Structure 1
Amino acid sequence: MCAARMPDPDVVIVGSGIAGALIAKVLATAGKKVLILEAGEQLPPDINGYMNRFLNATAKVPESPYPPELFDANGLVDPSTVNVGRPTVLSLGARYRFGDWQDPKQSYLIQQGPLPFASTYERINGGTSRHWLGTSLRFLPSDFEMKTRYNRFVDWPIKYSHLEEWYGKAEREIGVSADVADQSYLDISFSSGYSYPMPKIVMSKVDAAVEAGLSGLKISGHGLDDVKWAVASTPAARNSQPYQNRRVCAGNTNCIPICPIQAKYDPSVTLADALRTGRVDIMYKTVASKVQVDESRRVSGIEWIRYQDEKGPPVERGSVTGNKKVYILAGNAIETPRLLLMSKSERSPDGVANRKDGKGFVGKYLMDHPLYLAWALAPKPVWGYRGPLSTAGIEICRDGAFRRDRGAFRVEIGNEGWNFALGDPNTTTVDFVNGINFSGLNGGKSDDPKKGEPKALFGSELTAALNDKLSRQFRLGFLIEQSPDAGNKVTVSDQFMDHLGLQRPQISYNLSEYTKQGLAAAKDTASAIFKNMGADEFTTKPNADDPSTFEWPQGSTERIKYYGAGHLVGTHRMGTSANDSVVDDMQRSWDHKNLYLVGSGSFPTVATANPTLTLAALCLRTADDIVKNFPAQ
């Protein structure tokens, strides 16, 4: 659809990910005319093209099914040659090597360090939720009150009670499979008679093995001495029965990056509903380039650039204008502050929605869930590689008095063997076929000086070895609470541009002592669980030149590696006043009354739950407020 079909929209939304799609549907249903500016291409009629890209990809990373291309004849595509760039996990490599994390010709993000921001995102129709896992956990009541309860960070301007109703609405909208009894822990409450839209996804044999292995577990230190260890099923936006014309999950173990049968929710479901109202238009391949502000401090328009091909020149420039409209930025916690900071003018010298003289908060407090990954070989088969990527976790460590001293964590139990860890079953299969030992399973662990010589196996001997090793693989992923630190921030580069001539995001990032202590606790917890289970741990020691590592304990030669969870949080945080935040509790800009900045960028803290469900609940609450108070005064 083109802009001419909606000459005077009531609301302009930048981005058609889950935040933009949810708000568009609510507003259009209420009779508002909505125009969406979407940087990515129109969704194809089916996902066959995305599936083929993934199946033929050299590297099966979360970004591989989706445009733009990751590789060209020279290696990784130079981000300066692409109209809609995005980060990739392939550009988190050591300095001066393939994927150098600080090489602007390989990394879209201009990484200033001292550590890499390790998460990625999509800039396509549907956003990063195209490749999400589907985990739909509620925040804990304590997560909203970190300052009050633990004298850490800040309290949110809302409490759990303000979101409880909206959590339920979000769970119905995206279709969550879960059980209330399983989720009633650590003070999470539900309204009387509440039930999830679908029954929980059946837990896996891996889950059962971990649950049995927790019996009698005792861990000293890290505030875990009195923990009552247990496994709980994980709420998931994935069908356990037919829902929203989506199929029932078939257990393909490929939720990230793409569900081949579309049993998992993605924003195209909500967007299709919005479009069916007849009051939503989308301008595809249209990149918002500047937010305009008038003399009354109202947003008066958004400039945009349209392109036709990934690397082609702009084909049109224009703007959507009018200071009586509502403007909603629904990019993500990197692209939204990027747009605001690119929008400098005489009226907004430090960028839109940002205070003058360096006192603004736009871009600050960037957070993720730094993820600790550990893997082991169980003493008997656990039969991974089937079912969704994760069906259960250990949630009891999400809260406790230890949060005064270190980051909390939740434990995700993986059903995909060592696929995340090592790219299995391919790696181990190649090891046994060719007589090599990248996995550590063919002749002893890779860091074991007493390991035997690897052997090349054939026929029944090969089959027996693979059946034995692959059937016993499992992994644990620990999502760590990261502290909100002002030094972790998004700015824009004055030197490096994308192909449209727009400034690329510049990232400063580090892990605090609080967060590192959480990662250290996760490492020790993983090893203790494996030992209690009688499992043989194979987690490899990271190389010293791996940029996503840090020395621990300080002064030692040991290092801990972290991964990105894909959870972009912070950068336009909500609060109680303009003196400590960018938006109010309705995600409305303090500075510009007709501007909303929505999504997980509004979170003041990251807590431990995957952010998507809370993001969705906040956006439904915001949309309801806009409907009730339109037009913004």
Structure 2
Amino acid sequence: MSNPTYDLVIVGSGIAGAIVAHQLGRQGKKVLILEAGAPVPVDRSGYMQTFFKANAKTPESPYPPTTQNPTAATPDNPLGLPDPATENAPRYTVLQIGAWRNPKQCYFDYPPQPPYLKGDSPEVTFAFASSYERIGGGTTWHWLGTSLRLFPTDFTLKTTYGHGVDWPGGQTFYQALVPYYEKATDVIGVSGDKTQLDTLYTQFKVSPSGQYGPDYDYPMPAIVDSLVDQAFDVPAVTTLTVDGNPVYLTPTPQGRNSLPGDRRQCAGNTNCIPICPIQAKYDATVTLGDALQTGNVEIRYRCVASNIRVDDDTAEVVGIDYISYDEHTGDATGSGTVTASKYLLAAHAIETPKLLLMSNKNKNFPNGVANSSGQVGRNLMDHVMYLAWGLAKDPVYAFRGPLSTSGIESLRDGAFRKNRSAYRIEIGNEGWQWAANDPFTTLADFVFGQDTNQLNGNAVNPQGQPLRFNPNLPANSQLFGAQLVDTLNGIYVRQIRLGYLIEQLPDPDNRVELSPTETDHLGLPRPRVTYRIRQDYERDGFVSAKQVSTEIFNAMGATEYTRTPPAPVLYGAADQVTATNFQYQGNNFTFYGAGHIAGTYRMGDSKSDSVLNARQQSWDHGNLYMVGSGVFPTIATGNPTLTIAALALQAADNILQDLAAA
């Protein structure tokens, strides 16, 4: 394979890499993308069939490499998960969270725990709870579509509230990003309601013109609110306050069509995660296709970047090595090096630091590429999620519409951030699917006489009130026929769910490193992840979320069924530590991952404590840039994809400017 010199080589074809490729291709620049995973299919029917047959409808279930293979199940591997050591481009999956201590089942390698852990120890290492894809189009294949901007104070968390760090330039950086936010909203094709959101931004003293630009509006009107939304949007709820902030609902801006256009209009399939069957929801294959149509962009699939070459004298990047393969579990079929004037890493917040850490270790860069600060891989963040669920007093007909159409954004900022994490509240339309694996769990409860979901037994709420759905039936009833159907219908149509996206502070000990022992099939080291929720700032956010959920459910007359998780096992062998449980202030909590992996190659004002400058350019190597949520100094409270897209558009302009000046 020939290796021509390109203007730009990009590693990764997700939303950030696709946007930069498209912007440069439009300007006549020659761009090559290296993608570790499988090509974008001609149509998604194959993915849909895999999804239909999957027992677990997890975010990764439709996509290669498949994690759904019941014939591979064994007593030691009951989920039938593939061994990452046999795969050429493995990735972390939701199903692997339960296998986090078994290197044959889990892509991540976790450091061992001490033999005894006491009480409320902050040093418990948890399983990381968010997954991602390594295929053409990246993780937007399974994103929800939420397209929120960050608030100005999110860029000045340290200055304003005394926690975390500021983004480089703070408010100046935010103001420079506003026009890119507008452009990103157009690229994705966001449906939203500017008028209602103006009310929210006024609360936070952000003028509409400062947030949007004087004449800007969303490309399409907001998705119609659901009956679930309407059940929450009642005076008893909207007159509540939390730490001085009012509680009110706003339609969620989202990257799906509310009207017919280049994509089909949303049909309300309620399985946006993991896959939109009609592609009403934006994914990066749209922009990737536009990039390829310029005639200036080339993509090589199944090519895994393995090393970044750096010139010893100039510190410039001079090439990226890759290994190619044809079959996901087959032998490598080739290798090569690609060269360009500029290089861009867009391989997500786990794979990008992994590549940097395993590259070009010599006397000038002993800790890996772009790592003179020692910050590569550090400050791993996510929105750690608290889930609460219940039954509305009247039918709301869940399981219809996009997974979420409205949210409570009014609690994302305020003086309380001096003391605890902020959060946004996502209102779910999918019943208890995420919270309790329904409709399957409740069905099994009433068929087999179980009480997993607390509807068919003697469970009581914290006030001592019974939770049995039908008090006229005995506990652990086994139902069939019309009685089973009527009971299930009475439950499913009333299920409601709240999800709290709690901001997590950057912590240098939360990090991605290279495993010293575990490799993939190509012999490349797998990531070793250390992850903790150990700061009171975010733990107090969980306490607040639990209290607020109960207040909201009580105000709307709903019955709360949020299960109190068991206390974490903090003693004995390492694999006895409960993966995603922690205890704080007498409460037991389970946290969930939002899929918002951030922070591992952050921007900053100083070379000493960041990987990139404000232009998303390496402090160490002038022709190396990075994009994606790994550049975020803090994660704030908004879903990150719109900010990722805005930053990618900004980075594209910076790269074009530097190419012109070269």
Find 1:259's aligned residue among 276, 282, 289: 276
1:349 to 355, 366, 373: 366
1:96 matched residue in structure 2: none
2:482 aligned to which of 460, 465, 477: 460
Question: In the alignment, is the contact (CA less than 8 A) between 1:80 and 1:105 conserved in 2?
Answer: yes
- How far does residue 15 in structure 1 lie from its aligned partner after superposition? 0.3
Aligned with 2:97 (options 65, 68, 92): 92
Q: Give 3-state SS (helix, strand or coil) of 1:215's partner.
A: helix
- Deviation at residue 111 of structure 1 after TM alignment: 2.1
Residue 200 of structure 1: CA displacement? 0.5
Distance verdict in 2 for CA 1:353–1:563, change over 3 Å = same
Match of 1:282 in 2: 299
The CA distance in 1 between the partners of 2:420 and 2:536, in whole Å, is 8
Instruction: Tell whether the 8 Å contact from 1:439 to 1:446 is kept in structure 2 after alignment.
Output: no
Within a 5 Å distance, the mapping from 1:607-626 to structure 2 comes to 607-626=636-655
Is 1:128 the equivalent of 2:151? no
The 2-side partners of 1:44 and 1:432 are apart by 41
Contact 1:13 1:35 (C-alpha < 8 Å) held by counterparts: yes
SS in 2 for 1:306: strand
Q: CA deviation at 1:299?
A: 0.1
How many Å separate the matches in 2 of 1:252 and 1:612?
22
What are the superposed Cα offsets for residues 527-550 of structure 1, whole Å, 9 maximum, x if unpaired?
111111111111111133532011
Q: Tell me, yes or no, if structure 1 residue 514 matches structure 2 residue 537.
A: yes
> Which one of the candidate residues 316, 328, 350 is aligned to 1:310?
328
- Counterpart of 2:12 in structure 1: which amino acid? G
Letter in 1 for 2:638: A
What is the aligned counterpart of 2:581 among 540, 549, 560?
Answer: 549
1:141–1:187 CA contact under 8 A, matched in 2 = no
Measure the CA separation in 1 of the matches of 2:465 and 2:233: 33
Aligned equivalents of 2:229 and 2:17: distance in 1?
Answer: 35
Deviations 1:14-70 (CA, angstroms, capped at 9, x unpaired):
000000000000000011000000001111110001011111112111111011122
- Asked if structure 2 preserves the Cα contact closer than 8 Å seen for 1:326 and 1:632, the reply is no
Contact 2:221 2:258 survives alignment (8 Å): yes
Sort the Cα spacing of 1:514 and 1:538 in 2 relative to 1 into closer, same or farther, 3 A. same
* Partners of 2:64 and 2:134 in 1: CA distance: 9
Compute the displacement of 1:456 (Å). Answer: 2.2
State the Cα deviation string for residues 318-377 of structure 1 (Å, max 9, x = none).
11135xx1100000111100000000421321000001xxx4211111100000011001
Q: Is structure 2 residue 350 aligned with structure 1 residue 334?
A: yes
Partner of 1:502: 524
Shift of 1:183: 1.9
8 Å contact kept, 1:214–1:229: no
Contact map agreement 2:389 2:560 (CA 8 A) in 1: yes
Tell me which residue corresponds to 2:108.
109
SS in 1 for 2:379: coil
What is the percentage of aligned positions where both structures have the same residue?
52
| Contact 1:593–1:632 under 8 Å retained in 2 | no
Note if 1:193 corresponds to 2:215: yes
The residue type paired with residue 64 of structure 1 is S
Within 5 Å, give how 1:185-584 maps onto structure 2. Answer: 185=201, 186-188=204-206, 189-212=211-234, 214-215=236-237, 217-218=239-240, 224-243=242-261, 245-294=262-311, 295-322=313-340, 325-346=341-362, 347-355=364-372, 359-445=373-459, 452-511=474-533, 512-545=535-568, 546-553=578-585, 556=586, 558-584=587-613
1:603 matched to 2:619: no
Q: Secondary structure at the match of 1:437?
A: coil
CA distance in 2, matches of 1:139, 1:225: 20
TM-score, structure 2 as length reference: 0.90
Answer whether contact 1:241 1:248 (CA < 8 A) is retained. yes
Give the C-alpha shift of residue 217 in structure 1: 5.0
Counterpart in the other structure of 1:155: 166
Confirm or deny: 8 A CA contact 1:373 1:475 kept in the other structure. Answer: yes
The whole-number CA distance in structure 2 between the counterparts of 1:487 and 1:287 is 28
Q: Which runs of 5+ in 1 are unaligned?
A: 94-98
**Counterparts of 2:560 and 2:511, CA distance in 1:** 36
User: Residues 603 and 87 from structure 1, CA distance in 2 versus in 1: closer, same or farther, beyond 3 angstroms?
Assistant: same
CA contact (8 A) 1:411 1:479 kept: yes
Over the aligned positions, Cα root-mean-square deviation in angstroms equals: 1.7
Q: 1:187 to 1:498 in 2, by over 3 A?
A: farther
Question: Which amino acid counterpart does residue 157 of structure 1 have in structure 2?
Answer: P
Q: Which amino acid aligns with 2:104?
A: K
Instruction: Measure the CA separation in 2 of the matches of 1:140 and 1:503.
Output: 38
Three-state SS of the structure 2 residue aligned to 1:321 is strand
Residues in 1 aligned to 2:645 and 2:269: alpha-carbon distance in whole angstroms: 26
| Partners of 1:90 and 1:339 in 2: CA distance | 24
Q: Deviations over 1:110-160 (max 9, x none)?
A: 123612221111111111111000000000011011122112222111432
Letter in 1 for 2:319: G
State the AA in 2 paired with 1:590.
W
CA drift of 1:214 comes to 4.3
State the partner residue of 1:175: 189
**Match for residue 78 of structure 1 among 83, 94, 98:** 83
- Per the TM alignment, residue 81 of structure 1 is displaced from its structure 2 partner at its CA by 1.1
Task: Give the whole-Å Cα distance in 1 for the aligned partners of 2:624 and 2:591.
Answer: 36
Amino acid in structure 2 at the alignment position of 1:147: K
Amino acid in the other structure paired with 1:567: H
Q: In the aligned structure 2, how far is the partner of 1:288 from the partner of 1:475?
A: 41
Please name the residue that 1:27 is paired with.
24
**Counterparts of 2:610 and 2:475, CA distance in 1:** 59
Deviation of residue 446 (structure 1)? 8.0
Inter-partner Cα distance in structure 2 for 1:213 and 1:423: 31
Cα separation, 1, equivalents of 2:582 and 2:567: 9
Q: Which of the residues 15, 28, 38 maps onto 2:35?
A: 38
Q: By how many angstroms is 1:431 displaced?
A: 2.3
Displacement after TM superposition at 1:85 (Å):
1.0
Contact 2:378-2:507 within 8 A present in 1 as well: yes
Write the distance in 1 (CA, Å) between the matches of 2:31 and 2:544.
Answer: 47
How many residue pairs get aligned? The number is 611
Q: What is the letter of the counterpart of residue 538 of structure 1?
A: Y
In the alignment, what sits opposite 2:618?
Answer: 589
In structure 1, what is the Cα distance between the partners aligned to 2:547 and 2:385? Answer: 14
- Counterpart of 2:574 in structure 1 is none
Give 1:228 deviation, angstroms. 1.4
Per mean C-alpha deviation after superposition, the further-off stretch among 73-82 and 408-417 is: 73-82
Q: Structure 1 counterpart of 2:272, which letter?
A: C
Provide Cα deviations, 1:354-402, integer angstroms capped at 9, x if missing partner. Answer: 01xxx42111111000000110011111111100000000011100111
Contact in 2 for aligned 1:326/1:631 (Cα 8 Å):
no
Q: Which SS does the other structure have where 2:540 is aligned?
A: helix
* Amino acid paired to 1:209: A
Corresponding position: 1:56 with 2:53: yes
Give the structure-1-normalised TM-score: 0.94
SS where residue 316 of structure 1 aligns? Answer: strand
Offset of residue 197 of structure 1: 0.6
Query: What CA distance in whole angstroms lies between the structure 2 residues aligned with 1:213 and 1:369?
Result: 29
Contact kept, 8 Å, 1:573 with 1:603, in 2: the verdict is yes
In structure 2, distance between residues paired with 1:216 and 1:500: 55
Query: Partners of 1:361 and 1:214 in 2: how far apart?
Result: 47
Quick check: 367-376 or 103-112, which moved more?
103-112
Does structure 2 retain, via aligned residues, the 8 Å contact 1:407–1:518? yes
Distance 2:240 2:14 in 1: 43
Q: CA contact under 8 A between 2:381 and 2:504: conserved in structure 1? A: yes
Question: More displaced, 73-82 or 571-580?
Answer: 73-82
SS of 1:396's partner is coil
8 Å contact from structure 1 (residues 589, 596) kept in 2? yes
1:449 Cα deviation after fit: 10
Distance in 2 (CA, whole Å) between partners of 1:83 and 1:343 is 18
CA distance in structure 2 between the partners assigned to 1:538 and 1:47 by the alignment: 37
